[in-house]
Amino acid sequence: MSNQKLLLYFFWVILVAITGYLISVNLLLNIVSSIDEKLQYVININGLTPLKIRQYYPDKKFILGQALFFDPVLSGNRNISCASCHLVSKGLSDGRQFSLGPSEGNFSRKLSNNMIEQGVRKRNSPDLWNRDAISVKNLFLDGRIEVLDSEKKIFQNPIGDALLKQFQNALEVQAIFPIASESEMSGLFGDKSEKNLPGEHADKVNDLVNKSKYKTGTEKILSIHAQLLERLISRKAMPETWQITYRNMFIEAYPEVNLNKLTIYHVGSAIGHFEELAFAANNSRWDQYLEGKTEAINNQEKLGALIFFGKGYCSSCHMDTLLSDFKFHNIGIISDPLFTPKGQFEDLGRYFVTKNKKDMYKFRTPPLRNVTKSAPYFHDGSSATLYEALIRHTNPLKYENSFREDGGLMMEKRHIASISPILLNMPKMSDEEIAYLQSFLYTLESQSRVNAEIFPTAVPSGLAVGPK
Ligand code: HEC
Ligand code: HEC
């Protein structure tokens, strides 16, 4: 080859390489810009804005709420705190399929047959992120705590009119019920605490449940509340040192309230205040994207967002900044058939509250921030991974024609009747699309580190601090 030809050859190779490079970069840029444009359009029509949270400030009420949240002394047998089932390390859930509660004096933490017959249902522990005081109007998977009138402060709740009038928001109201629930914290009449607990907590009779039978459920709850307050601040007997600590903490948190005027409201309000401030999860990569940082999420995640707000119709229920409508839907997740032989003990969800047949099998749409951290999923914890949850969720009739161990159909007519038409008519999703959706859900993880101040180093009772 002559020198001239060689030069020409090189020239062509370089030209082709440069043109190829330019075309591919351009193509890429084109795709990128069109995804962002499409996503911007979706963001505009859905009116999506980054999540704003209240400034974190550990005031005296926060410190009291924190102690109460992590202190097992709030439970009948002094062995379970709120944090036992809502662990920060498990995304504020507990990593179990079903939360377990204390049992008849043997600490095995399971529901007794007696409880099941009374209508107590095992449920997966939900996360507690961003259940703020203002926007969250209902709590529990069946919404049995609900703001009925936000001005007059009237709440749907398990004790109805017997609820003290001071309560301001659903979070405060909720906090006083796990304490009085035998399947969560109160335990049973006649229980005794373990012998190896420190100090005066060892081998103690469960004074929270001080009767074997109560006339009504309300009487029982009110009695447990009164007993708990007495246990915490001991107004009747000579207080222990740790009870004096609690007294002082209550007085500092509520300086305007006389010791004799303290009620269970002050317990609930402090816990609610702590939960709201400590578990506010903002600054996710999705928030950053909403602030205009297009590089905060990658292409796969953007494609997932487009499906979430488009083809998948996810946002018709998982809407707004918290990604929930706080309404109730049947999505075709039926309770574990092994736990509910012949449907006898099925979890009927919202129906338990409204007694309206249309509400059978409906559960509240869960908010999705930090959802990647709180496996397993659904009210019965029946999907171990997020991917599996999405496969089931986008194909609700998957179990329609499969059989249970006892030969019955997994899903019967009554299960299917109220499944949301949005899900039944969802276009088929490819595995790739499910993977995109899953990547989008990862962008909802808060990037703010969990503040070390959330965890107390010790709790007033001297018992082991609830798990992290
Ligand atoms: C034994 C485990 C257990 C303990 C202890 C426990 N919880 Fe829960 N928590 C659950 C389960 C399970 C649910 C869902 C129950 C349902 O929907 O019926 C729940 C629901 C909640 C909710 C509602 C969340 C939502 O989005 O609807 C809040 C808030 C909450 N718990 C706070 C607390 C507080 C505060 C304490 C301590 C006073 C506490 N929990 C103790 C297991 C537990
Ligand atoms: C008709 C309303 C509705 C639609 C549409 C919907 N969801 Fe859900 N979603 C729910 C309800 C209700 C639950 C809770 C069901 C339960 O606990 O049994 C849920 C649960 C979930 C969960 C599990 C969360 C947890 O903490 O257990 C994820 C993840 C989820 N949805 C994502 C999606 C995605 C992604 C889409 C779109 C493909 C979607 N959802 C569409 C109502 C809906």
Q: Which atom of ligand 1 is nearest to the CA of 100?
A: 1
Say if ligand 1 is within 6 A of residue 84 CB: yes
Nearest CA to ligand 2 atom 3: 317
> In the block, which residue shows the tokens 């705190």?
81
Say if ligand 2 is within 6 A of residue 270 CB: no
What is the pLDDT at residue 368? 96
Nearest CA to ligand 2 atom 2: 317
CATH 1.10.760.10 occupies which residues in the chain? 46-53+282-442, 60-281+449-454
Distances 151 to 11, 148, 213 between C-alpha atoms, Å:
78, 9, 37
The string of pLDDT tens digits covering residues 273-297 is 999 999 988 899 999 999 999 999 9
pLDDT band at 120 (very low <50, low <70, confident <90, very high): low
Cα distance between residue 400 and residue 410, in whole Å:
7
Residue to substitute in 87, 88, 128, 379 for testing ligand 1 pocket (most ligand atoms within 8 angstroms of CB): 128
Contact 223, 213 (CB under 8 A): no
Cβ-proximal residues to 432 (8 Å cutoff; 6+ apart), any chain = none
Cα distance between residue 220 and residue 202, in whole Å:
25
* 218 Cα to the center of ligand 2, angstroms: 33
Say if ligand 2 is within 6 A of residue 377 CB: yes
Closest C-alpha to 213, from 118, 281, 131: 118
46-53+282-442 maps to which CATH number?
1.10.760.10
Kindly report the number of other CB atoms within 10 A of residue 361's CB atom. Answer: 25
What is the pLDDT at residue 409? 77
pLDDT at residue 109 tops 50: no
* Nearest ligand atom owner, CA of 438: 2
Say if ligand 1 is within 6 A of residue 126 CB: yes
The string of pLDDT tens digits covering residues 13-28 is 765 665 555 455 445 5
Q: What percent of the chain has pLDDT over 90?
A: 65
Second CATH level (architecture) for the domain 60-281+449-454: Orthogonal Bundle (1.10)
pLDDT at residue 104 tops 50: no
CA-CA-CA-CA torsion sign (345, 163, 54, 232)? negative
Q: What is the pTM of this model?
A: 0.89
Nearest CA to ligand 1 atom 16: 140
